[in-house]
Chain A
């Protein structure tokens, strides 16, 4: 578990790595202690109590250094923790070994297996010192001489005095390192350039190229910059030490050096390098994850791109695994959406070829070719509804094709309503989404209020349903997901549509849905309720119970309307058919609609259930947000 030594998140891993052997030692020792007490074996009891005492001491050290409240622990402290764990480790081994010898002597004693388990766990607590316990040298976790990749660490000794070199070489080789020597600076640089070293021990005073120059060159070259260098010199004056440190030496040892100190500094430097290597590798892999995220954004992610990072046992590995799963899911979802839209486009194509444009021209409609508001030229009448008439027009100032919606004078007589309407339009104009028809301006010309908006060439969902009859589930889902996506953005901006219905949903030839009239319903709101039922505007069939009853409405009312739209798309029927608003309200309060799946066997059960949830009478029983609805619709297979 070499990843355990990564920054910040690594502390948990390290704690896990160290506390696991303690868990084993304590568990087995307590169990054996119970047996010893039962069997009245005082000798065993004392030894096992010693094991438990030592294990608890070790645990205290671990808990202090790696306290959960600490977010970062310097590498040096971890090295020192390992150092301080050796003592309890020795106590455990020392107490267990005589017991094991006795158990092995008395053949058939099952005690031996558990004692060996304790030794194995103690062995894992900290890399074993070769001198102290030679019989445990083949520890699976390697000795202290290992470098980051677990191989034996390679050291280079540079000294012009042969005796010095040989003494160091022999000593270091005994400690388990692979050692090479160089007799001068030039030779040292050649060796370093030829193969990687984990550490360089460098004499300062040498003829020709001296230690300072070698150090400088090692630290200047990007390829060798990270190799730790320990300077060794008889010059122990402050300026020479400073000079070494300034040039990037890891450490400085005065000659004649203390072997214990040398050993400690070498392991500390190697440990630091190991941590740095791991950190570099970690950062490199973080970079891979970021690259993969960019690839997802651009649609270029391939599953398995992070396979290498996903193998890690730590949090980054988990992130990579989760990420890969999510990316695969997003791809599948996009694929599904594309299929649905393809189906929807076929429906639209058929509908358009058989569509007969029926526009009721009333008396005061604008004639094609006429000017409007001194800025627009009317191209054609598009349609006319409860609130007003829609024209296709040309903006003479900008040259754009736009749509003009004139509002019937009856709606705009109330000054307060106009003010409320204006503020709502201001809000609605902020919504920028591919599934929302852009509203440009609200104006008044010759006593007529009008709205200008983006012109969308296409048909409404109303027309699609009327021509095609009940739609297949993929088409309905393509409408539903786009509608939910647009509402999610609008609701985030604080805009509730209030009049979601098939007439307000436009589909262009490529299957893109555009929601019209955000904010417009506000104007008609007051007249669309029970209190003035005679003036009902638009279509109460799509209104939620709370909207019909003039109660406070929120975003969930729009979601009710989405439920009605989907219901109608799939069944060509409304959940409640009624002749008047009053009887609609009566039915709505008293009855449950038939589930879509019971009216059209082709409706998948989960979709049918989802629509019924949207039609819940109480807002709190519905899907709560448009974002959640979009997700649920995506999940319907």
Chain B
């Protein structure tokens, strides 16, 4: 089973996206801020991290940098998510070490395509 870690502070976003991903056959764990996200990722076992960029405590940019700096999480793919969608955000996310980038509101087929491109389709 493909395990996804969703790092997202907004409760409704968490509830909605996790349920939609579970429906598509993924296993989803959740963290509510950057610090918890980094801790959970370091505990291991995730195939992919979906990282909201505006997070309390440690924001998504910083969390990504921390994950990229630690040998045990360096290789875990990260997709950045943001509702800001400012010009240059994409480059900034890739520069911080994200593997891909998507904007909110989420278009599920587009996000699923990005997820599948990285970790493959879940078993039907």
Contact = CB atoms under 8 A, between A and B. Distances in A.
Interface stretch (A12-20, A155-163, A356-364, A601-609): A12-20
B119 interface: no
Contact of A27 (B16, B59, B83, B103): B16
Contacts of B59: 318
B108 A30 contact: yes
Contact of A12 (B16, B86, B108): B86
B84 A27 contact: no
A31 B17 CA distance: 10
Nearest to B12: A24
Contacts of B16: 23-24, 27-28, 31, 117
A16 B17 contact: no
Contacts of B85: 12, 15, 19, 68
B105 A16 contact: no
A249 B58 CA distance: 46
Contact of A16 (B54, B87, B106, B108): B54
Interface residues of A, number: 24
Contacts, number: 61
Contacts of A27: 13, 16-17, 20, 105-106, 108
A20 B17 contact: no
A212 to B, nearest CB: 46
Interface string A1-28: 0000000000111011001101110111
B10 A68 contact: no
A23 B83 contact: yes
Given A26-B105, A27-B106, 12 more contacts: A11-B86, A13-B84, A16-B84, A19-B85, A20-B104, A22-B105, A24-B13, A26-B106, A30-B20, A31-B23, A121-B12, A318-B59
A138 interface: no
Nearest to B15: A117
27 contacts: A12-B85, A12-B86, A13-B84, A15-B83, A15-B86, A16-B54, A19-B83, A19-B105, A20-B10, A20-B83, A20-B104, A22-B105, A23-B83, A23-B106, A24-B16, A26-B105, A27-B106, A28-B16, A30-B20, A34-B23, A59-B105, A68-B85, A68-B86, A68-B87, A117-B12, A117-B15, A121-B12
A507 B104 CA distance: 60
A217 B81 CA distance: 52
Interface string B55-90: 000010000000000000000000000111111000
B105 A69 contact: no
Contacts of A121: 12
Pick from A11, A28, A120, A121 the residue with the most CB of B within 10 Å: A28
Interface string B2-23: 0000000010110111011001
A318 B16 CA distance: 28
Contact of B104 (A23, A28, A120, A318): A23
Pick from B10, B16, B87 the residue with the most CB of A within 10 Å: B16
Interface in A116-136: 117, 120-121
A322 B97 CA distance: 20
B99 to A, nearest CB: 21
A117 to B, nearest CB: 6
Interface of B: 10, 12-13, 15-17, 19-20, 23, 54, 59, 82-87, 103-106, 108
Pick from B13, B85, B108 the residue with the most CB of A within 10 Å: B85
A23 B15 CA distance: 12
A365 to B, nearest CB: 59
A31 B16 CA distance: 8
B105 A12 contact: no
Contact of B87 (A34, A59, A69): A69
Pick from A16, A20, A27, A68 the residue with the most CB of B within 10 Å: A27
Given A20-B104, A23-B105, A27-B105, A15 B84 contact: yes
Nearest to A68: B87
A68 B15 CA distance: 28
Contacts of B17: 27
A24 B106 CA distance: 9
A24 B19 CA distance: 12
Nearest to A55: B105
9 smallest beta-carbon distances between A and B, as pairs: A23-B105, A27-B16, A12-B84, A19-B83, A68-B87, A16-B83, A23-B104, A12-B86, A22-B105
Nearest to B103: A19
B32 to A, nearest CB: 16
Contacts of A11: 86
Contacts of A68: 85-87
B13 A23 contact: yes
A31 B20 contact: yes
B35 to A, nearest CB: 14
A98 to B, nearest CB: 22
Contact of A19 (B15, B23, B104): B104
B23 to A, nearest CB: 7
Nearest to B88: A68
Contacts of B20: 27, 30-31
A317 to B, nearest CB: 11
Contacts of A59: 105
A6 B13 CA distance: 25
A194 to B, nearest CB: 41
Nearest to B17: A27
Contacts of B105: 19, 22-23, 26-27, 55, 59
A13 to B, nearest CB: 7
A15 B84 CA distance: 6
Interface string A92-122: 0000000000000000000000000100110
Nearest to A66: B85
A35 to B, nearest CB: 10
A534 B74 CA distance: 53
Contact of A31 (B19, B83, B84, B87): B19
Nearest to A71: B87
A27 B20 CA distance: 8
